[in-house]
Amino acid sequence: MAKPERWSDPLNKLFPHTVGFTGPPMDFDSAPSDFLRISPETVGAHGRLLHVPGYQHQLDQRADNFQLLEEVVHCFSNAGADVVGQVGTNWVHAGGRDVHDIRTFVAEMNDKHQTPLHMAGMTLVDACHEYGYERIALNSVYFWPDWRDGVVRFLRSADIDVVWYGNFVDQGWYDTQEEVNEQTWIFPGDLALKSCRYAAEQAPEADAVLVNGMSNYRDANGLPRRFVGLAADIETAIDKPVIAADISLYWQIFRTLGVAPIGHHGSLLRSLQKPH
């Protein structure tokens, strides 16, 4: 399963820095596009969906198909990827896994395929530990109750104090989870700020607001945007760091590549940029 030797020669690669992304089955995920928009031109990205017929976004389906993540890493390793990013916060806690299980799993992937795997849910933990965010408020956005509760359990298994947590129903923006699900992960543009402000107000003692999942918010042109394009303004408005799963995933990938993002995308990604 060793990575082909030819990829050790940069002249054989299409891009000096190569990233593979995998998203949940049935989702056309924007991570490859979002990541490239904030990357220097030396970076290339490729996406690969997991194949799970009849997928219904259930946690037990993720647990039952967890082994597909190794297949993804193996394929990207063979293609010369330098790092693989797994989109979707819930995969880290599906099947009752905790932070120690995931650390063991990603270490095994690196050993077997010589290609680091970064899982979105784990990168939330990595960011908190790196910057000393011991107490957090969790904006659980569109997550179903069992998804929300699984993320809380996972964060607490990493000794992170989740002092408050709530999804859009808990916060009062929607009456039922069914209404939330009908939005297909895309919400009104002002809800990103409103939900983060709500979370911050419920836990003023929190060091940061964490946001799980990969929610989208329509901008003035009607285009869905994720937190990576919104965090800087939200942090200014609520005066707290905002660590969303898309942002922490990209942050960890950039760190692995040894490359800094371009543009302004909030405090976590800014930490990788040299001061002017």
Q: For residue 106, report the phi and psi dihedrals to the nearest 5 degrees.
A: -70, -30
Q: Is the pLDDT of residue 115 over 70?
A: yes
The pLDDT score that the predictor gives to residue 57 is 85
Distance CA 6, CA 80 (A): 8
Which position has the higher pLDDT, 234 or 53? Answer: 234
Q: How confident is the model at residue 276 (pLDDT cuts 50, 70, 90)?
A: low
Report which residue type is found at 5: E
Q: Is the pLDDT of residue 106 over 90?
A: yes
Q: Is the pLDDT of residue 61 over 90?
A: no
The CATH number of 124-244, from 3.10.180.10, 1.10.287.1770, 3.40.50.12500, 1.10.287.1260, is 3.40.50.12500
* CATH 3.40.50.12500 residue ranges for the chain: 5-122+247-270, 124-244
Q: Is the pLDDT of residue 27 over 90?
A: no
Mean pLDDT, rounded, for 105-110:
97
The pLDDT score that the predictor gives to residue 2 is 83
Name the residue with tokens 């909030």.
266
The 10s digit of each residue's pLDDT in 245-266 is 999 999 999 999 999 999 999 9
pTM of the model: 0.96
Q: Is the pLDDT of residue 28 over 90?
A: no
Mean pLDDT, rounded, for 49-75:
90
Q: Average pLDDT of the chain? A: 96
Mean pLDDT, rounded, for 120-128:
98
Mean pLDDT, rounded, for 152-174:
98
> Looking at the domain 5-122+247-270, which fold is it?
Rossmann fold (3.40.50)
The pLDDT score that the predictor gives to residue 84 is 98
Segment among 45-59, 209-223, 235-249 with least mean pLDDT: 45-59
Mean pLDDT, rounded, for 53-69:
89
Give 243's strand partners.
Answer: 210
